[in-house]
Structure 1
């Protein structure tokens, strides 16, 4: 595979405006995103996104993601809903806090020489020599933990990807933490990182163009992707002559045995402390503490008894849940 042209002195040319998005329907925009790697895909493409694996991203880019569970942008319980809703508010708060004017970029941008590198930029900063792009983020109580030491790695890669596509030199990341604190972080263009990022993204794009699934990485995302990619039961496959996979199986059996032993040790240690605590709800130690509290009572329905007393309800309200493949080990 020929290597794409990397960024460097004299190569920071402006991006191409691939498609205007001001009046573009969301469905058409989602289809367009399948034709390249965008900024929000960058970390997943190189295996560094904590939420999306290479394999799940590959399903999306190859059109195999139909039926795969995804956040609903209209669901008010989803972070993506609030991120979209609050983006203009974060941008306005950034202007108020920094005095820098911003404007929307109503286009999908494309790298001038590497067609599969595309970007959707939240805002461009107007008339400032030091910084040219703005990325708007929101983080709830859980997500805010990822920002304790600055911009998370997966967001840094997103921004470096955007700088690579646009040829710009710096971007600000404005993040609204828990709905009440705005932090602004500056990210400067890193030519070495961009060169490596483009190389790794090109390797991922080769998986897409050759229609070859990338290897699983042990994440929940990869597990979802595998179950979606291979949903059916299709007989037996014989790996007895495959030394690599036979070794993998032996390692899996050994690791599971070790996990079981560790879980037994954990249970014994936990129960030793619980027994020593008696009715106490909190225990303090030299290096930390534990709590052992009873949760509040909750109301429920005894479905087994209900259906026994009213069997006609089962046919009236019964639903069929689709089965899923179970991974069981026998030795």
Structure 2
């Protein structure tokens, strides 16, 4: 059994055509529970709560390959735990987790990464990407200015291909931002020697 809101159900449980597309992690959970309890079948019943109550029952095929992969991955996980070897980071997926694991600590001594050949390449790539982003943002500003000029104060314009351009005043209520603290990454260039 699962419960979800109608908004989350539309966003995460349905595809673009509106057909139910069960989130993979829920299907895997059902397969594990069926296997551990010795069940010969599995399904998920999701109660959707919103402007009404709807229940959807979805059959889950018990794919042996998924179970086998889970058993392999679980064994590998516990082997890494036993040897103290953390899994390799997936930087595209694990950025927030890495940041949570390694918050800045002023008591940790400065690192000597002078022999690390990867770090300069990362910093160079980061600088190049930031420059490209800056140039792209500048171009976006130029495009916006040209669009605004073409609108000439109008709040709506219709294009030949059916698109509409809307430029209207948006009002935002006043709000206060609470004080917070968070890590900031900065790259400092080496100091030039005095001549």
Q: One fold, TM greater than 0.5?
A: yes
Instruction: Give, in whole Å, the separation in 2 of the partners of 1:322 and 1:282.
Output: 40
Q: 2:168 aligns with which of 290, 293, 316?
A: 293
Q: Residues 235-254 of structure 1: matches in 2 within 5 Å?
A: 235-254=109-128
Q: 1:238 to 1:151 in 2, by over 3 A?
A: same
Q: 1:329 aligns with which of 183, 187, 192?
A: 187
Q: Which of the pair has the greater relative contact order for Cα pairs under 8 Å at 6+ separation?
A: 1
Secondary structure of 1:226 counterpart: helix
Instruction: Give, in whole Å, the separation in 2 of the partners of 1:223 and 1:157.
Output: 24
Secondary structure of 2:46 counterpart: strand
Deviation at 1:138, TM superposition (A): 0.8
Instruction: Give, in whole Å, the separation in 2 of the partners of 1:155 and 1:201.
Output: 17
Deviation at 1:261, TM superposition (A): 2.4
Instruction: Give, in whole Å, the separation in 1 of the partners of 2:47 and 2:152.
Output: 44
Alpha-carbon deviations, 1:25-75, whole Å to 9, x = none?
xxxxxxxxxxxxxxxxxxxxxxxxxxxxxxxxxxxxxxxxxxxxxxxxxxx
Deviation at 1:146, TM superposition (A): 1.7
Q: 2:129 aligns with which of 255, 262, 277?
A: 255
Asked whether the 8 Å contact 1:144–1:177 carries over to 2, the reply is no
Q: 1:198 aligns with which of 71, 77, 91?
A: 71
Give the corresponding residue for 1:77. Answer: none
Instruction: Give, in whole Å, the separation in 1 of the partners of 2:74 and 2:157.
Output: 50
Q: Residues 1-331 of structure 1: matches in 2 within 5 Å?
A: 135-142=1-8, 144-149=10-15, 150-177=21-48, 179=50, 180=52, 181-214=54-87, 215-219=89-93, 222-223=95-96, 225-233=98-106, 234-285=108-159, 286=161, 288-296=163-171, 298-299=173-174, 323-331=181-189
Instruction: Give, in whole Å, the separation in 2 of the partners of 1:164 and 1:198.
Output: 11
Give the corresponding residue for 2:192. Answer: none
Q: CA RMSD in A?
A: 3.3
Q: 1:230 to 1:205 in 2, by over 3 A?
A: farther
Instruction: Give, in whole Å, the separation in 2 of the partners of 1:225 and 1:289.
Output: 42
Give the TM-score of the pair, scaled to structure 1. Answer: 0.45
Deviation at 1:194, TM superposition (A): 1.9
Secondary structure of 2:7 counterpart: coil
Q: 1:146 to 1:157 in 2, by over 3 A?
A: same
Deviation at 1:189, TM superposition (A): 0.4
Instruction: Give, in whole Å, the separation in 2 of the partners of 1:247 and 1:282.
Output: 47
Instruction: Give, in whole Å, the separation in 2 of the partners of 1:211 and 1:290.
Output: 57
Instruction: Give, in whole Å, the separation in 1 of the partners of 2:187 and 2:9.
Output: 36
Gaps of 5+ in 2: 16-20, 190-195
Deviation at 1:190, TM superposition (A): 0.6
Asked whether the 8 Å contact 1:231–1:324 carries over to 2, the reply is no
Asked whether the 8 Å contact 1:137–1:176 carries over to 2, the reply is yes
Asked whether the 8 Å contact 1:227–1:325 carries over to 2, the reply is no
Alpha-carbon deviations, 1:74-93, whole Å to 9, x = none?
xxxxxxxxxxxxxxxxxxxx
Give the corresponding residue for 1:69. Answer: none
Asked whether the 8 Å contact 1:232–1:325 carries over to 2, the reply is no
